[in-house]
Amino acid sequence: MSELLKSCMCTQAQLESASFQAWCDRLGQPRNHLHRKVWEWCYIAQALHERNLLQPGCRGLGFAVGQEPLPALFAAAGCAVTATDQPPDQAQIGGWVATGQHAAAVEQLLHPTICAPALFRERVTFRPVDMRSIPADLAGFDFLWSSCSLEHLGSLAQAEQFIFDSLRCLRPGGVAVHTTEYNVSSNLFTIRSGQTVLLRRRDLERIARLLRAQGHALELDFSPGNGPVDAMVDRPPYRPTMHLKLRIGRFVATSFGLIIQRQ
């Protein structure tokens, strides 16, 4: 891409761009797989790549990594990665263990086609972390990320608090990249509490104002995309492809990425 990615929503054009297609290849995902989860992984990787953070010597911190391929991808680039997920008892209650979306050990994050196991074990460590109570010793990282997890912390207030709390884990000038559920259909009403909450444009704009007031940097872009898949709204049972927007309750949602540079 000719300019740096901004904080923005998932679109068909992005997933079909040359840069995102290249990440699909490296992640072992089909190029015609227009799915917002694949977009989240590619978005995070592209944002960090553009900011020269995927290289030897860089330290990365992942929150609620589940069994996603990003720790392996970043380790393959030479980064030292601390991968975290919620404690097993919390994950069991939330249903994440039963659906295979939780990790309790570094071995569960192995993706040998992305990173050689020996290199992975050398560069990646794992520890359980509650995103609502981040340990103070997780600090000084060059970058951190979370992929659609902050909306599962119980409320909009807790989701927002995590965004601010996570910045303490970065060195000055470090970069945080988060993807989350975004309410496309309403800027007034939303799901404010429960298993999955939906951030609105007004929430993101307020968060951005507060972050900028603290000296942090981010740019918001609410362009919705104009491709045919951007206009489709998936409903349960969700399709494995062509899944950028979906109905959650009475709202239409998609994924939104936030890129924040700490002051």
Compute the distance between CA of residue 167 and CA of residue 147 in angstroms, rounded to an integer. Answer: 16
Q: Which amino acid is at 116?
A: A
The overall longest dimension of the chain from CA atoms, in Å, is 50
Compute the distance between CA of residue 254 and CA of residue 263 in angstroms, rounded to an integer. Answer: 29
Domain that holds residue 14: 7-261
Q: Which residues contact residue 227 at a Cβ distance below 8 angstroms, ignoring those fewer than 6 apart?
A: 11, 12, 13, 16
CATH of the domain at 235: 3.40.50.150
Hey, which residues does 131 pair with through a beta bridge? none
- Quickly list DSSP for 6-50: -EEE--HHHHTSHHHHHHHHHHT--TT--BHHHHHHHHHHHHHHH
Tell me if 150 is assigned to some domain: yes
- In the chain, the number of structural domains is 1
**What are the structure tokens assigned to 142, written together?**
């060059």
Residue 160 is predicted with a pLDDT of 98
Cis peptide before 117 (omega within 30 of 0): no
Per-residue model confidence as pLDDT tens digits over 166-207: 999 999 999 999 999 999 999 999 999 999 999 999 999 999
Compute the distance between CA of residue 43 and CA of residue 260 in angstroms, rounded to an integer. Answer: 13
Compute the distance between CA of residue 147 and CA of residue 113 in angstroms, rounded to an integer. Answer: 21
Task: Compute CA 204 distance to the chain's CA centroid, rounded to the nearest angstrom.
Answer: 15
CA distance to 13, 83, 109, 143, per residue, from 121 (Å): 36, 12, 10, 20
Tell me if 2 is assigned to some domain: no
Q: In tens digits, what is the pLDDT along the chain, a chain of 263 residues? A: 348 999 999 999 999 999 999 999 999 999 988 999 999 999 999 999 999 999 999 999 999 999 999 999 999 999 999 999 987 666 455 554 455 555 678 899 999 999 999 999 999 999 999 999 999 999 999 999 999 999 999 999 999 999 999 999 999 999 999 999 999 999 999 999 999 999 999 999 999 999 999 999 999 999 999 999 999 999 999 998 899 999 999 999 999 999 999 99
Q: Which amino acid is at 202?
A: R
For tokens 């902050």, the residue is 150
Tell me if 205 is assigned to some domain: yes
Torsion sign across C-alpha atoms 232, 236, 239, 243? positive
**What are the structure tokens assigned to 129, written together?**
């972390």
Tell me if 1 is assigned to some domain: no
Tell me if 48 is assigned to some domain: yes
